[in-house]
Amino acid sequence: MLAYSLRVPLALLLSLSASAAGAQSQPQTGSMTLGVAHSGVVQTINVADGDHVEAGHVLIALDCGPLAKDIDVRAASLQAAEANYERVLNGPRPEEIAIGEAGVGVAVARAEEARAALDRANAMQIGVSITLAQRLVVERDSRVADAVLMDARKRLALLQAGSRAEDVAEAKAKRDQAAAFLEEGKAEFDQCAVRAPAAGTVKVLVTLGQYVSTFAPATLVQLKPDTK
């Protein structure tokens, strides 16, 4: 029996091999390749090959736990900034003004008592009814009482005047900054998921637990949009 062999040029074999490999690696005609703009471990895969999805459906999600906790911290900071802004904008409450008025009343009584004690000390003869050291103590107490009264009156005046325009503007700026910081975190967290940009049929190219990196971009899902 004669054996026949078909000799094919090496260049043709290489060309056929390259074409086959290229056909396997290239997505189907008209399909979209989807990936993520964040690095992480694939935590959930919500679809299987051949599933039909609607636009916006979350196909794959990465494990971004630390980023989620950071968003909680940013949300709490925003709440604190909003509360501070409302407090500054509304100014002191009537109860706070009442407390300030009571503080002034107490300071007035103490200042009057200190002045009366000083008048009595000045009427006494040093070395006979009072010592010099005792009079100096009474004078000091009177000065301290006057200073406390002045401070209480200034605090009350600030409460009655309400918040300054620059204080309101500063509180508003801090609130807006906290809101922008939170939105930035949410936008970054949204990059941990692959969403369908349009309705169509999907093909999953990734596995659970696989690490994906932005330094080595890879296609995670192929989506073939519905034909109109």
The pLDDT tens digits for 92-119 are 888 999 999 999 999 999 999 999 999 9
Please check whether residues 124 and 179 belong to one and the same domain: yes
Q: What is the mean pLDDT of the chain?
A: 85
Query: What number of other Cβ atoms are within 10 A of residue 25's Cβ?
Result: 8
Please check whether residues 96 and 141 belong to one and the same domain: yes
Please check whether residues 123 and 220 belong to one and the same domain: no
Query: What number of other Cβ atoms are within 10 A of residue 204's Cβ?
Result: 18
Total-model pTM: 0.60
Tell me if 13 is assigned to some domain.
no
pLDDT, tens digit (0-9, with 9 covering 90-100), for 127-163: 888 899 999 999 999 999 999 999 999 999 988 988 8
Residues near 22 by Cβ (< 8 Å), separated by ≥ 6? none
Please check whether residues 136 and 196 belong to one and the same domain: no
- Name the pLDDT band for 11 (thresholds 50, 70, 90): very low
Please check whether residues 44 and 106 belong to one and the same domain: no
Tell me if 5 is assigned to some domain.
no
Q: Are 220 and 206 in contact (CB under 8 A)?
A: yes
Please check whether residues 47 and 124 belong to one and the same domain: no
Tell me if 3 is assigned to some domain.
no
The CATH number assigned to the domain holding 59 equals 2.40.50.100
Please check whether residues 147 and 121 belong to one and the same domain: yes
Please check whether residues 177 and 211 belong to one and the same domain: no
User: How many domains would you assign to the chain?
Assistant: 2
Tell me if 130 is assigned to some domain.
yes
pLDDT, tens digit (0-9, with 9 covering 90-100), for 50-104: 999 999 999 999 999 999 999 999 999 999 999 999 999 998 888 999 999 999 9
Angstrom distance (rounded) from CA 7 to CA 227: 45
Please check whether residues 119 and 220 belong to one and the same domain: no
Tell me if 176 is assigned to some domain.
yes
The letter for the amino acid at 53 is V
Please check whether residues 172 and 217 belong to one and the same domain: no
Query: What number of other Cβ atoms are within 10 A of residue 180's Cβ?
Result: 12
Please check whether residues 51 and 141 belong to one and the same domain: no
Q: What is the pLDDT of residue 29?
A: 57
Please check whether residues 82 and 177 belong to one and the same domain: yes
- Work out the average pLDDT over 197-224: 92
Tell me if 109 is assigned to some domain.
yes
Tell me if 21 is assigned to some domain.
no
1, pLDDT greater than 80: no
Tell me if 112 is assigned to some domain.
yes
Q: Which domain does 161 fall in, by range?
A: 73-183
14, pLDDT greater than 60: no
